[in-house]
Every structure is written in C-alpha cells, then in structure tokens.
Structure 1
Amino acid sequence: MKAVGVGIIGCGNISSAYLKAIASFPILNVVGLADLNEDLARSRGAEFNIPATNAAALLADPDIEIIVNLTVPKAHVAVGLQALDAGKHTYSEKPLGINFAEGKKLAETAKTKNLRIGAAPDTFLGGAHQTARGILDEGAIGQPVGGTATFMCPGHERWHPNPDFYYEIGGGPMLDMGPYYITDLVNLLGPVAQVAGFAFAPRNERVITSEPRKGERIPVKVPTHIAGVLAFANGAIVQIGMSFDVAGHQHVPLEIYGTEGTLIVPDPNHFGGQIEYLQKGGAFENRDTRHPYADGNYRSLGVADMAHAIRSNRPHRANGSLALHVLEVMEAFEIASQTARTVTITTTTERPAPLADSLVDGRIGK
C-alpha cells in the first residue's frame, strides 16, 4: 500500500512523541516539518532527519495528503482551515477547537470540500481500551448503568516549561484532559445526550515551579475545577471530575458499572494499562489485554488509521464527528455552570469501529 505523505505543523513538546510513533507505521511518510519558531523546527527536523520548512511550503507540497496540526489549541481551527483550503486532509492535536462554534465551522468546511478531518486523542484505539470495549460489547457487565471519570492534579505548571496555554482560553483541565476521558467513554458507551455540571477557578493566577521560568506568575482565564454528570443516550449516567487544583486523590481514572458487573478501565491518557473486572457477587480480577498497541506510546495511531482509511476508502476512527461531539460535550459543562441548567447536546456520533488487528501490516479491524 502506497505511503501517505504527511506534513507536521507545530514542533513543540508533543511533536517528539508523534514523530517517534510515526516510525511504527509504514503507511506514513513525513515529508516536512514547520513551526512559527524556525529554530525549533530546524532542531526537531535535525533530531528526526526530516526537512524543516514553513507552513506555506507544506500546504503547497503535492506529495502531502495529511497535515498533522500540533499547534497550540487556539490555533487548531485556523491551521486546520488553511490545510483544508489547500486541499489537504487534516488531523489535529486535541481539542478539535477551543469552542464548539469554531469546531463546527471546521467540520462543515471539510464536508463542503469532501476532505477528512480527525483529532486526538487516539489512545482509545490502544489495546487496553479496545479490550475493555470488547468486554463491554460481550455483555460481561450487563446493561451499563453508570460510571466515574476522574482526572485531578495540582496543575501542569509543575513540569511544563511553558504552561501558559493551559490557563488561557482553550485550556483548563476539561479541554486539556477531558478529551481523553470523554472520547474513551464515547468509545465504550456511545454518544452523550445531556450534561450537568459546575465549574470555577479558585485562583486567578498560578506560579510556575518548573524550569526555566520557575517563580514566574501567569494569569488564569478558564475554570480549573469542574465537576458534573454525563447522561448518555444509552441511559448510563457517569460522574466526572477534572481539576488542576487537587493535591492528590485515590480515584481510578475510569470505572464503568453495569447490572452484572463492574469494569476498571486504565488511564485513557495511555494506550495500555491494567484492566480489572468484577462479576456480580465476585471479586475484582485482572483481565489480559487482547489487542495490539498496548505496550508503548503510539501517538499518531489515529493518523495511521486515517491514512489506511484514505487508501481503503473507509471511515477513519478518530474522526471529525467524534471530535466535534466531544468538544460540544466539554463546552457544555461551563454552559451548565453559568446558566444553572442541564444542557442538551445537539450533536451525536457513532461509536468508532473496534480495532481488532494491527495497523502495522495493513490489516484493519472490521
């Protein structure tokens, strides 16, 4: 199968993980890199032996079919629209956009131009999460009735060298970490129908404790502690907590409850992890992962799946419909908090097709 040409715009922290993982997928051929910071692009290009150029050159290159957009969140849609205008499919880091309105514009533009859009996270395609999906689909927990989704930490200024964007519009724990949890929940349970919740920011500034800007203060422009409820179209009700204000906790990332059992799903920020299953009346037992892509960091798996889908003329899994639905759900928490009402979600999406086989040799799960 002919490799798909890829151009990467954005050479920040996450680009290294993408470029390392792309080496696992022969379907992907990275033609060039670009960043507003030309020195950063050249440094990343030298690290991975890939030509560094500028965004205009990548967009004009006829050998490039997919633009992978690894810019900061507030630039995701602007860069995505440029890629679509240039006739390229586009795959973005999460979230799809910083609000539902701009994400919808991107989706509508792609549809008009008959081009594909996709977005991270693709961790739900990892072996542990696909195995959990299989356990649910087999009916092992009976009818799903509820669950919990929890991400809580003291904030990313502890480790990130430039954490400002985590606290700007388009940041915060919901738009930053929420995509991993809500995307995996949609993979497991299907689309969300309603959202209720509360959101606030207990501090209006943060102190960076990482190098090289240790001691510098940065403003907080978004809610940093969110608690709410997701009501799924299948009837399941999941409690969710996302925070950059919690010193520590003892909740597992994802629990799914059913009439006949409970499933502990690993951290959706990773592709692997330990699955636990409890049958009603029994005790928790570990379950082995039955699917590939559980033994490492495969960020770009969603891009590889998109590339195979282009060549095979089939839907890709980390698609625009899924990403737009998740974006609307995430935005709904702040709307619910501001208006003191339950928000009905206007979009829906299909659960992505399960991934049963390896993408490395081109075999795609039905």
Structure 2
Amino acid sequence: MERVGIGIIGCGNISGAYLKAMASFPILDVCGVADLNHALAEAKAGEFNVPAMRIDELLADPKVEIIVNLTVPKAHVAVGLQALEAGKHAYSEKPLGITFAEGKKLAEAAKAKGLRIGAAPDTFLGGGHQTARSLIDQGVIGQAVGGTATFMCPGHERWHPNPAFYYEVGGGPMLDMGPYYITDLVNLFGPVAQVAGFAVSPRKERIITSEPRNGERVAVHVATHVAGLMAFANGAVVQIGMSFDVAGHKHVPLEIYGTEGTLIVPDPNHFGGDVELLRKGGAFEKQALTAPYGDGNYRSIGVADLAHAIRSNRPHRANGDLALHVLEVMEAFHTASDSGRTVAITTQTERPMPLSQSLVDGRLGK
C-alpha cells in the first residue's frame, strides 16, 4: 500500500512519543516537523532523523497528506483550519478544541472541503481496551448498567517542565485527561445522551515544583476538580471524577458494571494493562489480551488507522465525530455545574469499529 505523507506541527513534550511510535507503522512517511520555535523543530528533527521545516513550508509540501497537530490545546483548531485550508487532512492531539463551538467550526470546515479530521486519544485502540470491548460485545457482563471513571492527582506541576497551560483556559483535568476516559467509554458503551456535574477550583494559584521553573506561581483559570454523571444512550450511567487536587486515592481508572459481571478496564491513558472480569457469584480473574497493541506505547495508531482509511476509502476510528462528541460531553460538565441542571448532548457518534476488522496477520497494516 502506498505510504501516506505526514507533517507534524508542534515539537513539544508529546512529539517524541508520536515520532517514536510512527516507526511501528510502515504506511506512515514522516515528511517533516515544524514549530513556531524553529529551534525546537530542528532539535526534534535531529533526534529522529527527519527534516525540520517552517510551518508554511510544511503546509505547502505536496507530499504531506495528513497534518498531525501537536500544538497546545488552545491552538488546535487554528492549526487544524490552516491544515484544511492547505488541502490536508488534520489529526490533532486531544482535545479537538477547547470549546464545543470552535470544535464544531473545525468539523464543519472539514466537511465543506471534503477532508478528514481526527483527534487523540487513540489509546482505545490498544490491546487492553479492545479486549474489554470484545468481552462486552460477547455479552459476558450482561446488560450494561454503569461504571466509574476516575483520574485524580495532585497536579501536573509536579513533573511537567512547562505546566502553566494546564491551568489556563483550555486546560484543567477534564479537558486534559477526560478525553482518554470518555473516548474509551464511548468505545465500550456508545454515545452519551445526558450529563450532570459539578466543577470547582479549590485553589487560585499553583506552585511549580518541577524543573526548570521550580518555585514559580501559576494562576488558575479553570476548574481543577470535576465530578459528574454520564447517562449513555444504551441506558448505562457512569460516575466520573477528574481532579488535579487529590493527594491520593484507591479507585481503579475504569470499572464497568453489567447485570452478569464487572470489568476492570486498564488505564485509558495506556494501550495495554490488565483486564479483569468478575462473573456474577465469582471473583475477579485476569483475562488474556485477545487484541494486539497492548505491549507498548503506540501513540499514533490513530494516525496510522486514518492513513489506511484514506487508502482503503473506509471510515477511520479516531474521527472528528467521535472527538466532537467527547468535546461536547466534557464542556457539558461545566455547563451543568454553572446552570444547576442536566445537559442533553446534541451530537451523535457511532461506536468505532473494533480494530480486528482492519487487522492483517494480527497487526494493522502488516
């Protein structure tokens, strides 16, 4: 199959993981990397032996078919629109945008131009999550009842070298970590119908304890503790908690309940991990992973799936409809908190196809 040219805009902290993982997918041909800070692009280019380019050069390169947008969240839509205007498909880091309105603008622009958009996370395509999906689809847990989704930590200023953007508009635990959990839940259950929630900000500033900005104070402009409920179209009701204000906890990341059993689903920020199943009347038992891509960090499998979809003229899984739906759900928690009411979700999305439908010899594109 003819390779698909990839251009990366944004050479920050996450770009190394993408570039390393892209080597796992023969269909991807990295044509160049670019950043507003050209020195960053040159450093990343040298590390991964790819060309460093200016942003306008990358957008004009006829070999590039997909722009992978790894900029900060508040730039995702602006860069995505640039890519579409240049005639490129656009795939961004999560979230699709920092508001539902701007995400919708990007989705509408893509449809008007006949181009594809997509967004991380693509971890739901990992072996742990596809195995859990398969067990649900087989009816092992019976009728879907609900679940819990939990990400709680003291804050990213402990480890990130430049954490201020996590506390600016477009940051916070829901927009930062919520995409992993909600996307995986849509993979497992289907779309969300209604949301209720509360969003609070216990502290007005944070102190960075990571290097090189150790000791700096950062103002907080977003809610840093969000708790809520998601009512799914299939009848399941899931409790969710996303926080940058919790010292520690004992919750697992994802627990899924059915009338006949309970599933422990791996951390949705990772591709693999343990899947545990409790059948009614029994005890939790670890399940063998029945899907590939559970043995490493494949952070770009969504891009590879998009590339294969372009060549095969089929839908891609980490698609714009899914990303826009997740963005609307995340924003709805804040709307629900501000208004004191339950919020109906207006977007629709299909559960992404199981990855098994596109595997050859057990691997995507092998």
- Deviation digits for residues 249-283 of structure 1 (CA, Å, limit 9, x no counterpart): 00000001000000000000000000000000111
Task: Find the aligned partners of 1:359 and 1:140 in 2 and give their Cα distance.
Answer: 24
Task: Find the aligned partners of 2:333 and 2:343 in 1 and give their Cα distance.
Answer: 8
Q: How does 1:284-303 map to 2 (within 5 A)?
A: 284-303=284-303
Cα distance, 1:103 vs structure 2: 0.1
Q: Are 1:190 and 2:194 an aligned pair? A: no
Q: Indicate if the aligned counterparts of 2:292 and 2:362 stay in contact, CA closer than 8 A.
A: no
Identity %: 79
SS in structure 1 opposite 2:151?
strand
Q: Indicate if the aligned counterparts of 1:208 and 1:218 stay in contact, CA closer than 8 A.
A: yes
Match of 2:243 in 1: 243
- The gaps in structure 2 that reach 5 residues or longer are none
1:131 aligned partner, one-letter code: T
- Deviation digits for residues 122-171 of structure 1 (CA, Å, limit 9, x no counterpart): 00000110000000000000001010000000000000000011001110
Q: Which runs of 4+ in 1 moved over 6 A?
A: 360-363
Task: Find the aligned partners of 1:141 and 1:361 in 2 and give their Cα distance.
Answer: 29
Match of 1:308 in 2: 308
- Deviation digits for residues 26-47 of structure 1 (CA, Å, limit 9, x no counterpart): 0000000000111111000000
Match of 2:71 in 1: 71
Match of 2:36 in 1: 36
Q: Indicate if the aligned counterparts of 2:33 and 2:41 stay in contact, CA closer than 8 A.
A: yes
Q: How does 1:322-361 map to 2 (within 5 A)?
A: 322-356=322-356
Q: How does 1:21-100 map to 2 (within 5 A)?
A: 21-100=21-100
Match of 2:252 in 1: 252
Q: Indicate if the aligned counterparts of 2:32 and 2:58 stay in contact, CA closer than 8 A.
A: yes
Task: Find the aligned partners of 1:40 and 1:358 in 2 and give their Cα distance.
Answer: 36
- Deviation digits for residues 182-218 of structure 1 (CA, Å, limit 9, x no counterpart): 0000000000000000001000110000001100001
Give me the CA root mean square deviation.
1.2
Q: Give the TM-score normalised by the residue count of structure 1.
A: 0.98
SS in structure 2 opposite 1:31?
strand
SS in structure 1 opposite 2:188?
helix
Task: Find the aligned partners of 2:263 and 2:363 in 1 and give their Cα distance.
Answer: 28
Cα distance, 1:356 vs structure 2: 1.2
2:296 aligned partner, one-letter code: G
1:123 aligned partner, one-letter code: T
Q: How does 1:266-281 map to 2 (within 5 A)?
A: 266-281=266-281
Task: Find the aligned partners of 2:360 and 2:134 in 1 and give their Cα distance.
Answer: 21
Aligned residue pair count: 365
Q: Indicate if the aligned counterparts of 2:110 and 2:117 stay in contact, CA closer than 8 A.
A: yes
Task: Find the aligned partners of 2:163 and 2:360 in 1 and give their Cα distance.
Answer: 35
Match of 1:220 in 2: 220
Q: Give the TM-score normalised by the residue count of structure 2.
A: 0.98
Cα distance, 1:348 vs structure 2: 1.1
